Amino acid sequence: YVTAPGQVCALDSQTGREIWCYGAIAAGRGNSSPANRGVALLGDRIFYATSDAHLICLNRLTGGVMWDINMPVTPGPFSASSAPLVVGNLVISGIAGGDGPIRGFLAAYKATTGQLAWRFWTIPQLGEPASETWNGNAIATGGGATWLTGSYDVETETLYWAVGNPFPATDGDERQGVNLYTNCVLALDAKTGKLRWHYQFTPHDLHDWDATEPFVLVDTPYRGRDRKLLLQANRNGFVYVLDRTNGEFLLGKPFVKKMNWSSGIGLDGKPQLLPANKPTKGGVKTCPSVRGATNCYSTSFHPGTKLFYVMAVEDCSIYTQSHRGGYEGYRVPSDSGLKYLRALNIATGEIVWEIPQVGPQEANYSGVLTTAGGLLFYGETGGRFAAVDARTGKTLSTFKASESWRGSPMTYMANGRQHVAIASGGNILSFALGDR
């Protein structure tokens, strides 16, 4: 099942033949927003979030609509861009729109009916817990979108979900304080939506560094004991290792070299700020860029190599103080940025190996995929789909697609044969591995 702007299609996984397509735009649901990151499945039901913030349930076999609900309960520039997540009999979906005046939330709905099960607000109301972290008028519509699909730990029944930036993004005058729960990982009881713990990566964010990058859940020995870890390469330029059972901070190290906003992460897990990086009316050059040291590209941990694989971006932006949303608060400096595929040691944060990327950053939204066979697949910025040795970074195979990468690779089995697939431009490429 694949999504395109305003569309969901069912394809034969072995041949690519179209079985059915549901047109959300033609049905009055959504617009032509270019960002949609997939669907969720449960039995014969498919769940799809539209760009006008509706959650739709489709029949998996026919594409027919089974139910359709509007997720927001207040007016605002809400949208949705990522795949929902199914946990038990609940379908959980975030919303986008945090670069505008919204009050962000994450919500769970009953899979059979679409009835609301719970809602967690990422921006508190005055008088609620965490409202003391907002001083000023921005708390009413303080952003905090939840636009990237979270991760779920079946054993502990804990849901981990990332929260985006506060609004206004580059003007903090009306939101003095650390602005919870923006730029956080939320650990929630999946059945009730109750908060178990949170960790904030970038307090009082002034650079649009959403925490909406993938969380990788890893069970591995770490510093002499078995631990349940949560790994994230954050848009702010630091790679984090947390104990996912309680949110304990274990590691925070830079994975990019262009960084001038912080000298490091302290033992308390908080960034140590460097001076002169607050956006001004005239503009201040700060690194990483507004697109981040990484973004929503998939990351991966390989238990055999003990390495964490990240698409890293060495770039800066000129940030200007602006009360407006969207792209008003920054501009791109004259020097262009560079992208790298990097393998990181999670014990130290050190870069073990890297592969430079050649070409415009905007052409590559591919993340990485690792397999049990020791391979790593990714889309190169230059337009090639590549397989490398996950331990050494040595390139083993490439395929020239000459298209931009708008999604990350994934793998599946069909008729006993493993495939690796990726979205390339307006196409889906699927490569079969091994003999039948």
Exposure string for 127-143, b = 16+ CB within 10 A, e = fewer? eeebeebbeeebbebbb
Catalytic residue among 208, 243, 268, 315: 208
Assigned token pair, 217: 């859940």
389 flagged as catalytic: no
Exposure string for 15-53, b = 16+ CB within 10 A, e = fewer? eeeeeeebebbeeebbeebebbbbbbebeebbbbbbbbb
For the sheet containing 351-357, what is the strand order? Answer: 300-302, 307-314, 338-345, 351-357
CB-CB neighbours of 396 under 10 Å: 12
Residues forming beta bridges with residue 10, ordered by sequence position: 20
Place of tokens 């631990």: 227
Distance CA(64)–CA(201), nearest Å, equals: 41
Contact status, residue 249 vs residue 184, Cβ threshold 8 Å: no
Could you tell me the CA-to-CA distances from 327 to 67, 318, 350 in Å, in that order? 35, 12, 33
> Phi, psi (5° rounding) for residue 107?
-135, 150
Residues noted as catalytic: 208
